[in-house]
Amino acid sequence: MMRHDLPRDKWQKSSYSPDNGGQCVEKQVTADGLVAVGDSKHRDLGAHTFSPAQWQAFVAAVRDDDLV
C-alpha cells in the first residue's frame, strides 16, 4: 500500500545510503505500526508500507541473499 500522509521529520535514512546526496532509502514506523519505506529524493511519490513481519522477512531475505 502507498502512503502520502507521513510526517517529514520521522524518516530514518538507511545506514547503507551515502551522505553525498546520492540515492537514499528511508524508513519510518507509522502511527498505526506499519513500516513505511521511501526514496528521500522523491518523497512526493509516497512510500510503500509493510507490516513489521513483512519488513523483517524482507530484511532477512536480503541479508541471506535469498531473493529470487
List the chain domain ranges: 2-63
pTM for the model stands at 0.80
For the chain, the average pLDDT equals 87
- AA identity, residue 58: F
Q: What integer pLDDT is reported at residue 57 of this predicted model?
A: 95
Q: How confident is the model at residue 8 (pLDDT cuts 50, 70, 90)?
A: confident
Q: What integer pLDDT is reported at residue 22 of this predicted model?
A: 63
| CA distance to 26, 39, 57, per residue, from 42 (Å) | 11, 5, 25
The rounded percent of the chain whose pLDDT value lies above 90 is 46
Q: Please state, in angstroms and rounded to a whole number, the distance separating the CA atoms of residues 28 and 35.
A: 6
What does the pLDDT average to over 27-49? 92
